[in-house]
Copies of this chain bind each other. A is one copy, B any other.
Amino acid sequence: MKLEPSTLPPHSRRKAAAAALGLALACAGGAAQAQSRVQLFGVIDSGITHLSSSGSGSVNQLGADGNTSSRLGFRGTEDLGGGLKASFWLEAAYEADTGAGGSTSVDNIKNQSGGLTFGRRSTVSLSGDFGEVRLGRDFVPGFSNLAVSGGGYHAFGTNGVGSSAALFYPPAGARGVTHVRASNSIAYHLPKLGGFFGTVMYGFSESMANNDGRVVGARVGYASGPLSLAVATTKTTHSVLGDLKQSNIGASYDFGVIKPMLLLGENKAGDDKKTRVWALGAHVPVGSAGQFRVSYGAVKATNVANDANHIALGYVHNLSKRTALYGNVARVKNKDGGKAYTVGDGLAVSDANGSGTGYQVGIRHSF
């Protein structure tokens, strides 16, 4: 029920705001009494996916989230006067192909029952001139640069066969440690200071036995006109799998005819395991409604997994501001005798130095 979806460009938002005053309208008497309590918003993304991996065969699927992660959310902001605002944001993931709900993390254990949870985001905020204090479950700072909704620098964000997740996520054995979103967190977001932005987050462990699940992270960046860049790091404590330190830096520059972007990342797990990753990508507008996407990246692994590279091509055709058709193709190639990597959430690779390949066409609709 969002009349101003987050995917609208600013000028459209203003227009929409002028013409339409939100969901929970007070109409009797006109716009002056208008007030909005809750925005209902979401995305549904589904498509046909073909995955194949060396030694594992292939599979056809009705996939989901090839372009944007499916979600349903409720959010709102109350003006408290004097520049102070209270806001809430409850956002659930769901699988568009099955209707199952997405997981969250409770007591540092992933809760994946298939029922809907507000696992994508569950926050209450106070904001004003001083910035914003946000409590609850949200992206860890070290993840934002990987994701589109985090304001990231990978051409495919974290979606589909071209997803940054293929190489940038923590290596096998460390993925169980919080690295996307943290429950029980307190974050402080800087106010707008010219183009500068910044976030620090602390997430409570809540464990009596150890500090497992404790999150400490920060992200700072600058975005103005065509330029955007940010650096982030997050450390999650884990007594068994080893502490995870996820750091990255990204930048993009919109030349109009092409928007190249670069993302560099490092994951340290425990004392000696490490992956270093880079990806160079670009968005290229095609006519008024199309966008071509390309990304190439590689991972260099130490004492874990193996080296690999990842190439992805995609095309997005916007039917409207809210609806798009898309197609992606991507390939991950393992090296050094390994087989740790594959595309998206795809089939595991069974052969040493094997590759994983994925094709997908789909539709994404925002509401």
Assembly stoichiometry (copies): 3
Cross-chain contact A117 with B116 (CB below 8 angstroms): yes
Partner of A208, one of B38, B57, B185: B57
Shortest A137–chain B CB gap in Å is 5
- Chain B residues with Cβ below 8 Å from A35 are 3, 20
- Chain B residues with Cβ below 8 Å from A57 are 208
- Chain B residues with Cβ below 8 Å from A24 are 1, 3, 20, 23
- Chain B residues with Cβ below 8 Å from A322 are 78, 86
Shortest A19–chain B CB gap in Å is 5
A60 contacts the other chain (Cβ, under 8 Å)? yes
- Residues of A136-155 whose CB lies within 8 A of B: 136-137
Cross-chain contact B97 with A122 (CB below 8 angstroms): yes
- Residues of A1-58 whose CB lies within 8 A of B: 1-3, 18-21, 23-31, 33-35, 37-38, 40, 42, 44-48, 56-57
Cross-chain contact A74 with B137 (CB below 8 angstroms): no
Cross-chain contact B28 with A28 (CB below 8 angstroms): no
- Nearest opposing residue in chain B for A181, CB measure: B99
- Chain B residues with Cβ below 8 Å from A27 are 20-21, 25, 27, 30-31, 34
- Residues of A84-118 whose CB lies within 8 A of B: 84, 86-88, 90, 92, 94-101, 104-106, 111, 113-118
- Chain B residues with Cβ below 8 Å from A137 are 97-99
Cross-chain contact A46 with B136 (CB below 8 angstroms): yes
A121 contacts the other chain (Cβ, under 8 Å)? yes
A76 contacts the other chain (Cβ, under 8 Å)? yes
A119 contacts the other chain (Cβ, under 8 Å)? yes
Number of A residues contacting the other chain (C-beta, 8 Å)? Answer: 91
Cross-chain contact A62 with B185 (CB below 8 angstroms): yes
- Chain B residues with Cβ below 8 Å from A48 are 186
Cross-chain contact A367 with B116 (CB below 8 angstroms): no
- Chain B residues with Cβ below 8 Å from A122 are 44, 94-99
- Chain B residues with Cβ below 8 Å from A26 are 3, 19-21
Partner of A37, one of B33, B104, B206, B367: B367
- Chain B residues with Cβ below 8 Å from A186 are 48, 62
A61 contacts the other chain (Cβ, under 8 Å)? yes
Cross-chain contact B3 with A37 (CB below 8 angstroms): yes
Instruction: Scan A189-212; emit 1 where CB is below 8 A from any B CB, else 0.
Output: 000000000000001101110000
A363 contacts the other chain (Cβ, under 8 Å)? yes
Cross-chain contact B124 with A365 (CB below 8 angstroms): yes
A352 contacts the other chain (Cβ, under 8 Å)? no
Residues of A within 8 A of B (CB): 1-3, 18-21, 23-31, 33-35, 37-38, 40, 42, 44-48, 56-57, 59-62, 72, 74, 76, 78, 80-81, 84, 86-88, 90, 92, 94-101, 104-106, 111, 113-122, 124, 126, 135-137, 183-186, 203-204, 206-208, 319-320, 322-323, 347, 362-363, 365, 367
Question: 13 A-B residue contacts at CB 8 Å?
Answer: A38-B42, A47-B135, A72-B74, A78-B365, A86-B322, A88-B365, A96-B122, A98-B104, A98-B184, A99-B136, A100-B106, A101-B116, A124-B365
Q: A44-B88, A86-B319, A90-B94 are in contact. List 11 more A-B contacts (CB 8 A).
A: A1-B1, A1-B37, A1-B40, A2-B37, A48-B186, A80-B323, A96-B135, A97-B184, A101-B115, A101-B117, A114-B115
